[in-house]
A and B are shown apart, each in its own frame.
Chain A
Amino acid sequence: MNDTEIIDLYFLRNQDAILQTETKYGAYLNQVAYSILRCREDTEEVVQDTYLKTWSVIPPERPNSLKFFLSKICRNLSFDRIKYASAQKRCFETEELLSEFCELIPDERGSAEDALDAKILGEAINHFLGTLTHSDVAIFLSRYFYANSIKEIAAKYQLPERKVKYRLACMRQSCLRQLEKEGAIH
């Protein structure tokens, strides 16, 4: 079933919509959630929550890309769970990823950060992505959207892990510069 037909099922309030979504995107969503949570039990719960959330927002929303619409919901729900989990419950990979997010906007920017709008910041990140090569976009988003580990990214793009690390470190610094230059952070 194609995406338009699945979305139409949501609009018809036909519960087959969830079944079809699960058939087509279940494995993908499991991957998205697991990369962030690194826990099978939590992953299953988040993926189920993703279907429920999707059911509640379509309609009125009609996504252009169902796949990325689902992945954004799944990612948000996964990170929500991480944010509220105690530090003891987080694995090393998650802690490492969160520290990299802090590097993108250091904590000492706290005063300006309070006024930050995630949407404005998101747009600035889009502008930053527009300055990168396609391959760097893929590596950057593999890490910071999909939460893939360095090892996974290196394997996917056939690069040594150390080079992935180096390029991500450069891009984090460069992203911070771009956000500063655009006034997204002061």
Chain B
Amino acid sequence: MSSDKVIDAFAYVDDRYLELVDREIPKERVIPMSTKKTYRSTRKLFLIAATIALLAAFATAAYAVGTRILMRMKNDDTSSEIAFQTTDEDFIRLGTWVPENIPEGYSIDFVSDVSGGNQAVLYRNGANQMIRYEYAKADSAHQVTVNNIEKKETVDIGGCSGILYTCSQSQSLFWTNDMDGIGFCLYAEDKSIDLVAMANSVKKVDTPLVPSNQAATGEAIAAFGDYRVTALPEGFREATVSGYPVGEGEWYGYVLRVYENEARNKQIQFSYETYQVPDDVQTEDPAGYILSCHGEGEAIEINGMPGLTAKHDAINCVYWVDAERGLSFSVTTDACSLQELLPIAQSVCRAN
């Protein structure tokens, strides 16, 4: 039964997230769902808090001038938490990093998209054994916990130090590219695989890896429409677009476009998603109900549609609902004020 697996998986939830459950959240700060819309921004906010915590809790090390990333570890006898922390206020470009040396019998099984500032590639062999390769920008708040450690070794990967963990049923390798600000990890179920050789073969390539779910993004855009922000502030360009259509028997789908300004190291996120008013809610105004789920804010109109402006933490948000098409839109950023964000929201147009 799949629920058993999910229940077990929650035992691996990081303590830092469990701590959030105990915190008192004032009503006005509770903001509604749309996981995608605040993706990078909330990660960034989390990073600030996480960095403060990391500085206090994680092992620290001196680093050379020019180093843009630090690998921090919080260790005990049998487990270790590894986090990549930025040391640089400037924009870090993820790029595409691929290992050339793939262990015999393994081939790519899955490639994730890069919307979260990281990308994962799964390799599998004929025996269904898996190698997971992942690379992340230093500011992507990427954190991994390794348990049941039997052996821990420091290794050299391209002149940067890495750590190889041999665990009871797997092995994991973590390393950084200090100058580019990228953190890497490799996880293999087969303990005989030479992960160091695989890591040393990682090269930056010009051609991006094609995400396995790329078709899903196209399907989502085809299903919901190709909406874009047409009046981006100066210096912003579209960095990623991802999405997923509504599956059979489901009701939720979305498209997320992330615009980045590299010089300012800022982002604007634009998303649109389907919504559903719960069966037990009696309302003649579904759009109003969906907007009310975004918390308290000022009522506005965006191109004739009902909307709402709100500020959540340091993030300015504009929400609006197209009740005719059943879509809920949002534009969020900490790059400009609400007043500056409004014309950006109003510039959203459907290209098809």
Chain A residues proximal to chain B, CB less than 8 Å? 59-65, 68, 71-72, 75-76, 79, 83, 98-99, 101-102, 104-107, 109-110, 113, 115-138, 141-142, 144-146, 157-159, 162-163, 165-167, 169-171, 173-174, 177-178, 180-183, 186
Contacts and interface: CB of A to CB of B under 8 A. Distances in A.
Contact of A63 (B76, B144, B252): B76
Contact of B13 (A126, A159, A169): A126
Contacts of B212: 183
Contact of B2 (A79, A102, A125, A146): A102
A59 B39 CA distance: 39
Given A162-B278, A166-B293, A174-B33, A145 B9 contact: no
Contacts of B35: 128, 131-132, 136, 170-171, 174, 178
B280 interface: yes
A133 B116 contact: no
10 contacts: A60-B77, A61-B79, A104-B3, A125-B13, A130-B116, A137-B17, A141-B20, A158-B27, A169-B252, A183-B111
Given A180-B244, A183-B212, 12 more contacts: A115-B128, A121-B8, A130-B142, A135-B25, A141-B13, A166-B33, A166-B277, A166-B278, A167-B32, A170-B275, A173-B250, A174-B36
A83 B113 CA distance: 35
Nearest to A107: B2
Contacts of A116: 5
Contacts, number: 209
Contact of A105 (B5, B34, B38): B5
Interface size classification for chain B: 35 or more
Interface string B23-37: 101010111111110
Interface of B: 1-15, 17-21, 23, 25, 27, 29-36, 38-39, 42-43, 46, 74, 76-79, 81, 109-113, 116, 120, 122, 128, 130, 132, 141-145, 147, 211-213, 216, 242, 244, 250-252, 254, 275-278, 280-281, 292-293, 312-313
Contacts of A158: 27, 30
Given A167-B293, A181-B112, A68 B11 contact: no
Contacts of B31: 133, 135-136
A117 B129 CA distance: 11
Nearest to A113: B2
Contacts of B120: 182-183
Contacts of A178: 35
Contacts of A71: 18
A109 to B, nearest CB: 6
Given A131-B116, A134-B23, A145-B21, A65 B32 contact: no
Contacts of A99: 3
Nearest to B1: A107
Contacts of B292: 163
Given A101-B7, A130-B46, A106 B293 contact: no
B9 A118 contact: yes
Contact of A127 (B46, B116, B251): B116
A122 B251 CA distance: 25
A125 B27 CA distance: 26
B99 to A, nearest CB: 16
Contact of A138 (B21, B76, B79): B21
A111 to B, nearest CB: 11
Contacts of B130: 117, 120
A119 B145 CA distance: 10
Nearest to A178: B35
